[in-house]
DNA sequence: TTGAAAGCGCTAACAC
DNA sequence: GTGTTAGCGCTTTCAA
């Protein structure tokens, strides 16, 4: 099946460009990938030919020949969660203008699905991988450890990262929120949390530990649900909290949706915030500071995590081993606003 | 450079599987792609060999040989916008469990960037394309028209779609909101809008037209900004509206962020909603109905658009020409709540 | 139903 | 700095 003559519908190939420019195919290839090592004269001829033919490289052929792609895999547990949409934004800002592109995998808070996605991504020979947790299955973790590409774990700072990591101390962040509540004079704080993925569980544990140490722990005030977080859920959880422990005087919410929902529920019940009830939120998405009263929140560096992660990854791809700071703590910030400022 | 002996680190290939199973490579390929046309005996042997070797196909090689990939390109104007995160969710739900995967391109409300992304996606030989607007550059549009794969345009329903389309009548939706305001007895309605992309402009035009017809048009009450939409911006815009036209008695907001921001600003100024000021929102993300007072909104079928679009695309990919309903109107719904119910 | 041969369009490796 | 050669791991085509 000799198909020596090209059909007109076929797009031009490297060889076509080479012929047009009067050079060899490899020179065209080099002109595209590292213009620096090609003579000015050749480069100009090639560039001209590319323009004339409207040539675009075929990524599949390139991937096959070079055994690597320009794909960066990004694994997130949720697409609806505001937290990850901010991370996403940071990541996309960072790949803008590079030759890489991001592919998102949503594992819906399931470590098993995450493992499947890791496998799937790896089969595509990605240039790098960003994963949003430390809670892989053992197999998932092994796959990451032996991955033939750099890997960045994001969101948390913890011992035993697979390769690089960018995040902040989530437990210290919760503690800071709880402590702030204490410093404002609240003595009977509750904790509201939805979804209860491993990270949420850890944050709850940190809260309990702090509350216990401060002599403020009361399990009736810990309200959680495995269901997804939402504004409506925040209202429900507060309702439940107040029916179980009516003397509660503050709530630490495990994210902004919940805090906004709790605030609205308080409004509905004519409970004065911050007078009768203090509310501290977690993450601090834009909406939080515009509520009335404005929500005090532990602000987390979501976008920065995304942009930093991609920066590290790209540096490591371009120049393996060049990233010396392989574990980056971006910190968090207490945003003290009206919802906790008693008098 | 004869590398006849495979390095141990190399992953197994089709040929390895074929050898292991005692069949030819093409039989393995067929077993994977269309098990039906292979004999039971051969199939079993191949499946067993695949398992034993832990074989995973190389998508790059497959793409190169077959001249097509399993990538579905999804172009969105924004990643932070809640509207598109809902669409995204619908799309991802729809590809779950298929052999396709989605790649997102963010063109940041720039038709020029969109054109670049279309070009870029096309160079990857995608299985299909979903684009979020009708507002391509002429070149962008041409690229879509001649694309060698099915294309779905989403969000709007309009004449002259490139190929398939799924959405709703955005202009009728705005009109419905404005009319609702009128029916509630509001006579001096304003309009708040940010970002002002072509779609936002069209919606504003629809509002003006309706208001004019109803004898309620007053240009002082039309407040827009090219800046991105946010809750904070909603507050600013309402502030501006009230300083320019203090007798305004209602606002139609071009999306939920703005509406929430306007509501908070009203709260801050002790303006009674809905008594002194009616607020109607657009899109109706979850948060809207949990505000106090709950926001009346034009609910748009964002997730459904995503899942329907991917369903149509997959059907068309598997079976070109099989999709008969190539223009799907998913409608919208008025959610009448407290923020417009005077007495 | 199965197989052999011939590429898909690019890059690695080595020579010049 | 540039070219030649030999694949990368699949699928297509054609023949059996």
| Tens digits of residue pLDDT in B217-230 | 999 999 999 999 99
| Closest nucleotide over all strands to B18 (CA to C1') | C3
Q: Check whether residue B32 has its CB closer than 7 Å to nucleic acid strand D.
A: yes
A61-70, A92-101, A165-174, range with the lowest pLDDT? A92-101
Q: How confident is the model at residue A9 (pLDDT cuts 50, 70, 90)?
A: low
Q: Check whether residue B15 has its CB closer than 7 Å to nucleic acid strand C.
A: no
Q: Count other C-beta atoms under 10 Å from residue A1's C-beta.
A: 2
Q: How confident is the model at residue B8 (pLDDT cuts 50, 70, 90)?
A: very low
Choose among B56, B92, B268: nearest Cβ to A106.
B92
Query: Residue B59 and residue A267: Cβ atoms within 8 Å?
Result: no
**Can you tell me the mean pLDDT for B205-218?**
97
Instruction: Look at residues B222, B226, B229 and name the one whose alpha carbon lies nearest to residue B197.
Output: B226
Share of chain A above pLDDT 90, in %: 90
Q: Count other C-beta atoms under 10 Å from residue A57's C-beta.
A: 16
Whether pLDDT at A8 is above 60: no
Q: Under DSSP, is residue B193 helix (H, G, I), strand (E, B) or coil?
A: strand
In whole angstroms, what is the distance from residue A313 CA to residue A151 CA?
7
Q: What is the pLDDT of residue B9?
A: 54
**Can you tell me the mean pLDDT for B92-103?**
90
Residue found by looking up tokens 């208001």 in the block = B211
A84-93, A180-189, B227-236, range with the lowest pLDDT? A84-93
CATH architecture of B170-300+334-340: 3-Layer(aba) Sandwich (3.40)
How far out from the chain centre does Cα B12 lie?
39
Instruction: Provide the CA B28 to C1' D11 distance, Å, integer.
Output: 11
**Which nucleotides of strand D come closer than 7 angstroms to any CB of the protein?**
1-14
The average confidence (pLDDT) of chain B is 94
Using CA of residue A301, residue A303, residue A306, residue A307, what is the dihedral sign? negative
**Which nucleotides of strand C come closer than 7 angstroms to any CB of the protein?**
1-14
- Phi, psi torsion values for A159, nearest 5 degrees: -65, 155
Whether pLDDT at A342 is above 90: no
Q: Count other C-beta atoms under 10 Å from residue A338's C-beta.
A: 15
Whether pLDDT at A2 is above 60: no
Chain B residues whose CB is inside 8 A of the A56 CB are 119, 122-123
Q: What is the pLDDT of residue A3?
A: 35
| Closest nucleotide over all strands to A39 (CA to C1') | D1
- Phi, psi torsion values for B224, nearest 5 degrees: -135, 165
**How far is the first Cα of chain A from the last one, in angstroms, to the nearest whole number?**
86
Q: What is the pLDDT of residue A1?
A: 33
**Can you tell me the mean pLDDT for A103-123?**
93
Q: Which residues of A touch B (CB under 8 A)?
A: 56-61, 63-64, 69, 79-80, 85-86, 88-89, 92, 101-106, 119-120, 123-125, 230-232, 234-235, 257, 260-261, 264, 267-268, 286-287, 289-292
Q: Count other C-beta atoms under 10 Å from residue B6's C-beta.
A: 12
Whether pLDDT at B30 is above 80: yes
Q: Dump pLDDT digits (tens) for A275-288.
A: 999 999 999 999 99
Chain A residues whose CB is inside 8 A of the B268 CB are 292
Whether pLDDT at A343 is above 90: no
**Distance to chain A for B8, nearest Cα, Å:** 14
Query: Residue B79 and residue A102: Cβ atoms within 8 Å?
Result: no
The strand pairing partners of A61, in sequence order, are none
Using CA of residue B183, residue B185, residue B190, residue B192, what is the dihedral sign? negative
Q: Sheet holding B333-335: strands in order across?
A: B222-224, B189-193, B250-253, B278-283, B296-299, B333-335
Residue found by looking up tokens 């996605």 in the block = A117
Whether pLDDT at B343 is above 80: no
**Can you tell me the mean pLDDT for B203-219?**
97
The average confidence (pLDDT) of chain A is 94
pTM here is 0.93
> Which residue places its CA closest to the C1' of nucleotide C12?
A66
Share of chain A above pLDDT 70, in %: 97
The strand pairing partners of B153, in sequence order, are B131, B165
**Can you tell me the mean pLDDT for B315-322?**
91
Q: Looking at the domain that runs over A70-168+302-330, which CATH code has it been given?
A: 3.40.50.2300
Whether pLDDT at A167 is above 70: yes
Q: Dump pLDDT digits (tens) for B121-159.
A: 999 999 999 999 999 999 999 999 999 999 999 999 988
Please, is B39 exposed, middle or buried when counting C-beta atoms within 10 Å of its C-beta (0-12, 13-18, 19+)? exposed
Q: How confident is the model at residue B323 (pLDDT cuts 50, 70, 90)?
A: very high
Query: Residue A125 and residue B58: Cβ atoms within 8 Å?
Result: yes
Domain boundaries, chain A: 12-52, 70-168+302-330, 170-300+334-340
Whether pLDDT at B46 is above 60: yes
Whether pLDDT at B4 is above 60: no
Q: Are B281 and B343 in contact (CB under 8 A)?
A: no
Angle at B162 between CA A57 and CA A8, to 5 degrees: 40
**Can you tell me the mean pLDDT for B92-115?**
91
């Amino acid at each position: 099946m000799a198909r020596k003559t090209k059909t007109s519908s076929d797009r031009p190939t490297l060889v076509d460009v080479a012929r047009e420019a009067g050079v060899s195919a490899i020179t065209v290839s080099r002109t595209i990938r590292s213009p620096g090592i090609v003579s000015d004269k050749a480069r100009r001829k090639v560039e001209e030919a590319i323009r004339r033919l409207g040539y675009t490289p075929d990524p599949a052929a390139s991937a096959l020949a070079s055994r690597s792609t320009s794909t960066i895999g990004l694994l997130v547990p949720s697409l609806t969660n505001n937290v990850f949409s901010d991370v996403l934004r940071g990541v996309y800002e960072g790949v803008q203008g590079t030759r890489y592109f991001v592919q998102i995998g949503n594992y819906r808070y399931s470590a098993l699905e995450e493992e499947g996605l890791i496998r799937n991504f790896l089969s595509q020979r990605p240039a790098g991988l960003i994963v949003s947790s430390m809670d892989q299955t053992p197999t998932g973790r092994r796959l990451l450890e032996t991955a033939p590409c750099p890997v960045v774990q994001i969101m948390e700072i913890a011992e035993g990262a697979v390769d690089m990591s960018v995040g902040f101390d989530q437990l210290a962040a919760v503690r800071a929120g709880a402590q702030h509540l204490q410093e404002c004079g609240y003595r009977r704080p509750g904790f509201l949390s939805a979804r209860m993925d491993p990270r949420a569980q850890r944050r709850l544990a940190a809260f309990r530990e702090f509350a216990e140490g401060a002599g403020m722990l009361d399990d009736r005030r810990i309200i959680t649900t495995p269901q997804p977080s939402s504004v409506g859920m925040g209202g429900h959880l507060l309702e439940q909290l107040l029916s179980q422990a009516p003397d509660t005087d503050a709530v630490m919410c495990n994210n902004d949706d919940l805090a906004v929902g709790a605030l609205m529920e308080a409004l509905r019940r004519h409970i004065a915030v911050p007078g009768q009830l203090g509310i501290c939120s977690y993450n601090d998405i834009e909406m939080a500071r515009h509520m009335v009263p404005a929500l005090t929140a532990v602000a987390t560096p979501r976008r920065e995590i995304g942009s930093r992660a991609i920066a590290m990854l790209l540096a490591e791809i371009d120049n393996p081993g060049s990233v010396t700071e392989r574990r980056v703590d971006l910190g968090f910030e207490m945003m003290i606003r009206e919802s906790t400022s008693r008098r």
